[in-house]
Structure 1
Amino acid sequence: MIIRSLLYVPGSNRRFIEKAHTRGADAIIVDLEDAVAASMKTEARDALAQSVPLAGKAGTPVFVRVNNTQERLLADAEAACRAGSFGLYVPKVETGALLQQLATHLEPIERELGRKRTVFVPLIESPAGVFAAAEIGRGARVFALSGGGEDLATSMGAKPLPQVLNLPKQLIHLAAKAAGVLSFGLLRTVADYADLDGMRDAANEARLFGFDGASCIHPSVVPILNAAFSPSPEEIDWARKVIAADKIAADVGQGAHTIDGYFVDAPIVARAQAILVLADSIDKNSETAHG
């Protein structure tokens, strides 16, 4: 599954939820946590039966960000599962045991409903979570890992500056890649969404670091993420050139070779193949969405 952009919408705002499927995001996150006032959390959870289908009206995968508190976690997760959510965004994860607890709770509900299992995106938002990221990445049902910039900085007693977030977010990213799951995020906070040039620079940087996509809190950022995490026409042309040249080299029994003075060997070829696979997958997703 290709997910370049994930748009948060408050679970208590019906108007935003109704419009979510028109924003062009590859996935929607209906938020029950930070975007919802404490007095509205139960009402937002009870509304998931309508909110999740509305947000996913165009066939877009819908995640629900639950509250990681003793009194709300399992009830939020069950409501999201019954509403048909594709997955859960689980905040403030510090151990893999929490994910197993969630999986154990949801298994009989999923059997009852006859639905596919709900996947998890752990949000790592503390130093303890960063140091446990490898374990968390190997946890039950993990689809992707992500780091919460604002919470990470707060837990460190720091400001959410790019130079503060760079190291912990890269460690979370490496844990995701080691576990073979997707990696979502930018090496900065997403809170200052109005800085579109900064968001564009950060998204392009994240793509160069190998991130697969990122979340945002405003629809104006969605096209920036979709563009940044898609191969450019120049990249696609380069990849096709590499693949074609490698086939010619292989036909004459040559391994490593050069293209325009650039050394090409197996890792370069693999990178070119990955670019073409990604481009093809994006094209197919677009055809399905408009078909």
Structure 2
Amino acid sequence: MKLRSQLYVPAHVARFIDKAHQRGADAIILDLEDSVPAASKLSARQSLADSVRKTGQSGAAIFVRINSEPDLQLDDAAVACQAGACGIVVPKVQSVEGLDRLVAHLAPLEHDLGRNPLPFICLIEDPATVFDARALAAHPRVLGMALGSEDFATMMGAEPSPDVLRLPKLLVHMAAKAHGKLSFGLLRSIADYADSGAMQTATIEAKTFGFDGATCIHPSAIPFLNTGFSPTEAECDWARRLIAGADKAATENRGAFAFEGRMVDAPVLSRARAILAKAGRDGENG
């Protein structure tokens, strides 16, 4: 599943839902939480079956961001499951027990529908949970993790500047990677999407750190997220040449070898293979 770009779409706004499939995002996140006013939350939930169908018609993976309030969360998740969503974005995650509660509610529905278990993307949005991120990342339902920049900064009494967000985002990122899960985000807030130059620079930086993709709130960000989180042709060329060198070294019974002025051993070779594997996945269906 490609998740380089994930476009948030308010699940109560028909004109956004109708056009979302045309935007080219790898994933659409139908939002039932922050972007939906309280008076519209029930109708947005009730419309999910139609919204999932419309937004997914061009092949994007469709996730639903459910509400964090206990009296809304379980019903949101159940309807998302029944509507055919690919997965659930769980906001303000605080504990493994909270994820288990969701699983216990969804498992009978998934069984009755004959569908695979819904994966979760966890949003960590408070300082305490940053330090518990490894336990959350270890949960079998968790596909990926991200820091919720705006809520996190608010709880810190801080501004969501790159300097404020950098450390907590990297801590969540490392927790995800420690358990082989995906990690999403830029080392800055996505709220100031109009600064396209800064957003593109942040995308390149995030890719360098090993992030797998990022969310966006405006479709203008989608092209540079898709490009920025994909291997470049120069990277693919380097990987192909390095692997060819490794094959030659193997015929000479050498585990390490010199390549373009540096020593290469197993970790570097693994990185080259991962680049080509990712390029293959990103090339599927455009």
Query: Considering the TM-score relative to the shorter chain, is it more than 0.5?
Result: yes
Separation in 2, partners of 1:60, 1:226: 13
CA deviation string 1:35-77 (max 9, x = no partner): 1111111111111111111111112110000100021010111
- Helix, strand or coil for the counterpart of 1:236? helix
> Which ranges of structure 1 fall in alignment gaps of 5 or more residues?
287-291
- Helix, strand or coil for the counterpart of 1:143? strand
How many residues are paired up?
286
- Alignment match, 2:186: 186
Q: Is the 8 A contact 1:146 1:184 kept in 2?
A: yes
CA deviation string 1:81-126 (max 9, x = no partner): 1111111101000111111100100011111212221111110000
CA deviation string 1:113-160 (max 9, x = no partner): 122211111100001110110011112411111111111111111100
- Helix, strand or coil for the counterpart of 1:22? coil
> Which ranges of structure 2 fall in alignment gaps of 5 or more residues?
none
Q: Is the 8 A contact 1:100 1:140 kept in 2?
A: no
Over aligned residue pairs, what C-alpha RMSD do you find?
0.9
- Alignment match, 2:234: 234
- Alignment match, 1:76: 76
Separation in 2, partners of 1:254, 1:179: 31
Shift in Å, 1:255: 2.0
- Alignment match, 2:119: 119
Separation in 1, partners of 2:261, 2:76: 56
- Alignment match, 2:210: 210
Separation in 2, partners of 1:61, 1:90: 16
- Alignment match, 2:110: 110
- Alignment match, 1:162: 162
Separation in 2, partners of 1:33, 1:74: 13
- Alignment match, 1:146: 146
- Helix, strand or coil for the counterpart of 2:146? strand
- Alignment match, 1:2: 2
Separation in 2, partners of 1:194, 1:204: 17
- Alignment match, 1:33: 33
- Helix, strand or coil for the counterpart of 1:6? strand
Q: TM-score, normalised by structure 1?
A: 0.96
Separation in 2, partners of 1:261, 1:58: 45
- Alignment match, 2:277: 277
Alignment of 1:15 onto 2:15: yes
Q: Is the 8 A contact 1:158 1:164 kept in 2?
A: yes
Separation in 1, partners of 2:135, 2:169: 16
Separation in 2, partners of 1:259, 1:180: 29
- Helix, strand or coil for the counterpart of 2:70? coil
- Helix, strand or coil for the counterpart of 1:79? helix
CA deviation string 1:7-49 (max 9, x = no partner): 1000011111111111111111000111111111111111111
